[in-house]
Structure 1
Amino acid sequence: MKLRHERRKRESGRKSSNWIITFSDLITLILVFFILLFSMSQIDLNKFKAAVGSFQDRADGESATEQTDRGRDQHAKKAADSQDDLLKKINDYIEKNQLSGLITAKRDERGVILVLQEAVLFDSGKADIKDQAYPLLHKIAVLLKTVSNPINVEGHTDNRPISTYRFPSNWELSAARASTVIGYFTEKEKLDSSRFLAVGYADTKPVRDNRTESHMKENRRVEIVISKLNTKK
């Protein structure tokens, strides 16, 4: 009986010891789990701090909108400076070649414009280039070859109606004059035709009212528009 009692006591002690080992393993696993959670939370906290820091840097500096606006302003200034330089170049060319009485140059939102009065290029009511106008157009072509900008050639008339077989209205006359000038530049001077666009405005864009003959004379013109380059960057 005594031996049996001692054996039971030893078995009971062994079971108690096994339970303690299992519990300690569980505690260890739980501890490891919480350590991992803590480590992950530290990593996320660091990421959060980095993100906050980046927003703070942006707040202290320029916003994205401000940077875009500043870039747009710089581009506009660069384009304006380029147009001013081109206008100066053209005016110098006009003066050097003694063309001041035949061509005037100006600049507006379209680009730099060469203005030629009707009498310089055409007879009244016609779209055939005068023989004496070819040397002038040649000098203009030499100038146009020094730039790569797109070019619009615009025909303008006064408000007096025209009605002929060839030109039923001022629309046809103004468009034909613009096309004739482009034809000379592309066929005789070998300028790239893809750079050119012919536009006829008839009497819709006068520079003066049509109340006097001198004003009408100013409205009858051809404008060679050296358009702005599209340089989006």
Structure 2
Amino acid sequence: MALKDGIAPIVVRKTRKHRKSTAHAGMWKIAYADFVTAMMAFFLLMWLLTTSAEADLKGISEYFQTPLKVTLSSGKVSGDPVALLTGGQSLNHRRGETQGGDPAQAQIDERDRQRLEALQAKLRSLVLTQAVLKPFSDQILIDFTDEGLRIQIVDERNRPMFDTGKTELKDYSREILGELARALNGVDNKISIAGHTDSAPYAGGDAGYSNWELSADRANAARRAMLAAGMAPDKALRVIGLADSVPFDHSNPRAPENRRISIVVLNKRSEEFLKKDGIAVDVPAVSGKTDDVGEPWRQSGTRADD
């Protein structure tokens, strides 16, 4: 190093110490807090889903499918749509539902439901324990429809209710109907009786006589048998023949169980509707055989009857 005026320069070396930046040192805490918040929100959502009513869940689902539905339908919430025009009926209204939360009507419907459920339990007990009905437990089906409590007496391959193409009841069929008639007198609900056939065309008899006439005559034969057993004369509100239009076994139109007599203990709404010259709700197809009071069904082969 060059000397200046004979004096050597003094060089001072300073070492800078690099301090670790603390700018991102606490980021993991924020991420952890976000995770905990998300988990809390998730568990809150699960709790709400398990405690919410089915109608509310349906409303939430519909909202995400059509977000503007609430606005367009003027509802307060997604599960409470109302008519587009003031005074109109709810867009989701179905016949038989109480709109406007009428407490009196709700109580009537609830008492009616409880009465029919008690009758269902009584009938099932009779079928399983009563000496006349027990042998036919696999032929007597009891379930609910929109109209009320339905009792179906179906044919088996070797144990039909009627002879082929006839309207005269077998003796055991008459006994079954008699026991049911006495049980149904315990409630003041009216009943509807329907006759059904399989899809085999009616052969013989007068020209123009078909499964429609046969099913109607069989329904009337069932009504007369129940009257003879002591059923109240004004108990039956409707007697109809449906031929093969409402099969029990859709996969086999000629199956023996398609030939049956169905008795519906009408709920009060259906009863009032029929009395006002209305048309009752459609008879729904049986969705399954889980309401049988007897043993599981044995699938039968095809046989042309009726």
Q: TM-score, normalised by structure 2?
A: 0.48
Alpha-carbon displacement from aligned partner over 1:133-188 (angstroms, at most 9, x marks no partner): 232222112212222211111101111211322572100110010000111122x2
Shift of 1:86: 2.0
Runs of 4+ in 1 over 6 A off after TM superposition: none
Distance 1:73 1:137, change over 3 A: closer
Distance 1:177 1:67 in 2: 39
Distance 1:160 1:210 in 2: 14
Amino acid at match of 1:202: A
Shift of 1:114: 1.2
Distance 2:188 2:124 in 1: 18
Distance 1:80 1:174 in 2: 30
Cα pair 1:114 1:225 within 8 Å, conserved? yes
Question: Which of 113, 120, 123 matches 2:150?
Answer: 113
Whether 2:201 is the aligned partner of 1:161: answer yes
Whether 2:116 is the aligned partner of 1:83: answer yes
Residue 215 of structure 2 corresponds to 174
Residue 222 of structure 1 corresponds to 261
The RMSD of aligned alpha carbons is: 2.7
Amino acid at match of 2:151: L
SS in 2 for 1:113: strand
Structure number with greater Rg is 1
Distance 2:202 2:160 in 1: 20
Q: Which is worse superposed, 73-82 or 219-228?
A: 73-82
Cα pair 1:171 1:200 within 8 Å, conserved? yes
Distance 2:122 2:225 in 1: 23
**Identity of matched residues, %:** 26
Amino acid at match of 2:166: K
Cα pair 1:159 1:210 within 8 Å, conserved? no
Residue-pair matches, total: 165
SS in 2 for 1:148: coil
Residue 246 of structure 2 corresponds to 205
Cα pair 1:102 1:120 within 8 Å, conserved? no
SS in 1 for 2:166: coil
Question: Which of 101, 105, 114 matches 1:69?
Answer: 101
Distance 1:82 1:191, change over 3 A: closer
Residues 33-72 of structure 1 aligned to structure 2 (within 5 Å): 68-71=100-103, 72=105
Give the unaligned 5+ runs of structure 2. 1-86, 88-97, 273-306
Distance 1:79 1:199, change over 3 A: same
Distance 2:216 2:184 in 1: 21
Amino acid at match of 1:90: L
Distance 1:142 1:81 in 2: 20
Distance 1:73 1:132 in 2: 41
Shift of 1:207: 2.1
Q: Which has the higher helix share?
A: 1
Residue 183 of structure 2 corresponds to 143
Shift of 1:84: 2.0
